Structure 1
Amino acid sequence: MPFPMTWVDQMLLDWGDRLFHEPLRHVRAPRMSRGELGREGRRMREKLARTLRRTPEVMVKITNKASGAQGMGAVRRHLRYISRNGKVELEDQDGMIVLGREALRDLTHAWHLGGWGIPQESRRREVFNVLLSMPPGTDRQAVRDAARAFAAGEFGDGRRYVFAAHDDEAHPHVHLSVQVRGPDGRRLNPRKQDLQRWRERFAGQLREFGVEANATPRHARGETRRYPKQAVVHMTMRGETPRFWRQELDESTRLASWHAHAGTFEAWRGMAHAVAGSPSPDDRSLEDVITDFVQTMPVQQGRPGPGPGPGLGDRAEGGHHRHSRRERGFPRTERDEPQRELFPDDPDARLER
């Protein structure tokens, strides 16, 4: 007997929050009406579908986050870099185009002395440099338009910024430089959750311009691929070999990464059980897709022991999954079968609800 759709929506939201968002502690979730629950459930299904079909992921990165204090000297050098010394046009918060060395000089002069101003030397960061990027083959004009809309939506409160779209590399990307101080003097202080919100907003803007884009955490996709730091990229371009950085993970690191994904596997299993009990055929069709998605995650390469990988349920005759009341989220009763292990060959990783 299928579960009520409201129950399915709630379970998808609960497991989806664990999978796609950072956990929040000591916060009571607001009570939603049936209509609100249905709308949020549809949004979660859309995100789930994008993830399962491996929609291209956006990258949003603060490139000067680890650097020390910077004043106008560092800001001026970065603006020269992203504008290729005035050869690539910059666009500011008002839609004005800055092109050429003289126009670039006027811009840096205005940032130095206008508004709150940027001192020549500073003990604090004065500008955040943000990189917005998509995989090769993405429509470059759409990336630029989405970056413009993202910047206006996120920083269009009177804060000064400029951005430049670069077309000289395979990955379409935009460099966005945002002043830390807003018109009211308050300083921009992005945290990890802000970066995720920026990713989701940028992905949403790309979809508005007809580009398939997603913004999910790496752990939700079982991603283990390592990306080099900028210093490593520059060393490689010079023909030097990095001493302490390696593209591939060693065996112990892969094993540790696999164990660290236990919560991810648990959340995916919860999602699979929720759609399996849905009255909607479209929901139920996702169960096998989820199973295949999890079993082909990159993190599975670091899985200990032989076997095809952790399943999300036992297959019964006819290709259907059998789930106990406990696995579906009901309280355990004497009629229930024993709780099954999340990973058949790992006795320490069990589904705990």
Structure 2
Amino acid sequence: MPFPKTYVDQMLLNWGDRLFPDPLRHVRAPRMSRAELQQDVRRMREQLARTLGRTPEVMVRITNKASSAQGMSAVRRHLRYISRNGKVELEDQDGMTMLGRDALRDLTDAWQLGGWGIAEESRRREVFNVLLSMPPGTDRQSVRNAARAFAAEEFGDGRRYVFAAHNDEAHPHVHLSVQVRGPDGRRLNPRKQDLQRWRERFAGKLREYGVQANATRRLARGETRRYAKQAIVHMTARGETTRFWRSDAAPSRALWNAHARSLEAWQGVAHAMARSQGADDRNLAVMVTDFVQAMPISRDRRGMRRTYPDELERRRIPLHERGSGDAKRSEKQRELFPDDPHWRMER
């Protein structure tokens, strides 16, 4: 018997929030109204559609972490770099544009002497250098517009920043330099969840400008590829050999454990959709199954099975036999729907 739509929506939110947690929602949000619940369900379905459709993922990261803590001398070098020594236009928090060496020198003087000021040498981080990037082929003007809107929303509290769009590489990207100390003297201290929020907001701004963009976590995509840091990229470009970093590292037990909960959540989503009354939802369950089977982590499971058979065997045990808090519900679901994709993916 198919599940009622309300139950399907609740299961979708329950499992989907483990894959795509909303970084903008307060952890102590009050009880949601029916309208808010429907809005969350709509958000989750849109997120699923983007992820299953393999919508291009945004990339947001903090660069030059070490040099950012060395005062105005390091800040000056970075501003020269992103402006190509004055040849690339810079834009600040007020929408003012700067081009040329004289304008660049005026900007660095204003940053060093104005506001809270920045010492020439410092042991504390004075500026965060943020890279906002999209895959090749993305409209470059839209990336710039989205970066401008993102910076205004995230740092538009009087904090000083400048950004520059680089068009000389295949990936359209924007370099954003933000002063750590705001007008009230408080210092930025972004954590991992803040970076995810930045990705979500940048992707949202891109969609507002007509660019399909997504911002999911690597675990939700079953991604196992290791990305080289900027220093490694530059070393490789110079023909130097790295001693410790390897892009083709063998799968590990920790890697499997990190992805296990996400795979479990995908199984829950497929289970909810497979028992829906709507044909579109049932088709979505098949798409989820295909998506999971095509994940890099799924392709690596053969190597993991040879190395860690006991761990993988434990993951095949149903939830109710592992003592999970969802034991009764999981046992009933398996008994009622033995041919459901929720269980097929565990075999």
Q: TM-score range, shorter-chain basis?
A: 0.7 to 0.9
Could you tell me whether the CA contact under 8 Å between 2:68 and 2:75 is conserved in 1?
no
Superposed CA deviations along residues 297-334 of structure 1, whole A, max 9, x for unmatched, are: 0112221349xx99xx9xxxxxxxxxxxx999837469
1:245/1:62 CA distance change after superposition, 3 Å: same
1:343 matched to which residue of 2? 346
1:199 aligns with 2:192: no
1:113 matched to which residue of 2? 113
Q: Which one has a larger percent helix, Structure 1 or Structure 2?
A: 2
1:67 is displaced (CA, Å) by: 5.0
1:5/1:194 CA distance change after superposition, 3 Å: same
1:291 matched to which residue of 2? 289
Q: Which runs of 5+ in 2 are unaligned?
A: 307-311, 317-324
1:279 matched to which residue of 2? 277
Q: State the alpha-carbon separation in 1 of the partners of residues 333 and 141 from structure 2.
A: 61
Could you tell me whether the CA contact under 8 Å between 2:68 and 2:127 is conserved in 1?
no
Percent identity of paired positions between Structure 1 and Structure 2: 73
2:228 match: secondary structure = coil
1:336 match: secondary structure = helix
Q: Tell me which amino acid in the other structure corresponds to 1:292.
A: D
Could you tell me whether the CA contact under 8 Å between 1:224 and 1:299 is conserved in 2?
yes
User: Which stretch shifts more, 330-339 or 261-270?
Assistant: 330-339
Where do residues 47-86 of structure 1 align in structure 2 (5 Å cutoff)?
47-66=47-66, 69-86=69-86
1:11/1:95 CA distance change after superposition, 3 Å: same
User: Which stretch shifts more, 5-14 or 45-54?
Assistant: 5-14
1:317 matched to which residue of 2? none
Where do residues 22-171 of structure 1 align in structure 2 (5 Å cutoff)?
30-66=30-66, 69-171=69-171
Could you tell me whether the CA contact under 8 Å between 1:222 and 1:261 is conserved in 2?
yes
1:319 matched to which residue of 2? none
1:43 is displaced (CA, Å) by: 0.5
Superposed CA deviations along residues 150-203 of structure 1, whole A, max 9, x for unmatched, are: 000101111100000001111110000000111111111111111000000000
Structure 1 length as normaliser, TM-score?
Answer: 0.85
1:124 is displaced (CA, Å) by: 1.0
Superposed CA deviations along residues 260-302 of structure 1, whole A, max 9, x for unmatched, are: 3111110000001111222332222200000000000011222
Q: State the alpha-carbon separation in 2 of the partners of residues 333 and 270 from structure 1.
A: 14
1:256 is displaced (CA, Å) by: 4.4
1:256/1:341 CA distance change after superposition, 3 Å: farther
Could you tell me whether the CA contact under 8 Å between 1:22 and 1:193 is conserved in 2?
no
Please, which of 293, 298, 307 is the counterpart of residue 300 of structure 1?
298
Q: Which runs of 5+ in 1 are unaligned?
A: 314-325, 345-353
2:321 matched to which residue of 1? none
1:350 matched to which residue of 2? none
Superposed CA deviations along residues 26-66 of structure 1, whole A, max 9, x for unmatched, are: x6664222221111100000001100010000000001335
1:17 matched to which residue of 2? 17
Could you tell me whether the CA contact under 8 Å between 1:6 and 1:38 is conserved in 2?
no
1:330 match: secondary structure = helix
Give RMSD over aligned pairs.
Answer: 2.8
Q: State the alpha-carbon separation in 1 of the partners of residues 95 and 337 from structure 2.
A: 63
1:333/1:142 CA distance change after superposition, 3 Å: closer
Q: State the alpha-carbon separation in 2 of the partners of residues 92 and 269 from structure 1.
A: 46
1:290/1:329 CA distance change after superposition, 3 Å: farther
1:229 matched to which residue of 2? 229
1:330 matched to which residue of 2? 329
1:220 is displaced (CA, Å) by: 0.4
1:189/1:102 CA distance change after superposition, 3 Å: same
1:226 is displaced (CA, Å) by: 1.4
1:40/1:328 CA distance change after superposition, 3 Å: farther
1:69 is displaced (CA, Å) by: 2.7
1:265 matched to which residue of 2? 263
2:31 match: secondary structure = coil
Q: State the alpha-carbon separation in 2 of the partners of residues 137 and 338 from structure 1.
A: 44
Q: State the alpha-carbon separation in 2 of the partners of residues 329 and 118 from structure 1.
A: 60
Q: State the alpha-carbon separation in 2 of the partners of residues 197 and 12 from structure 1.
A: 22
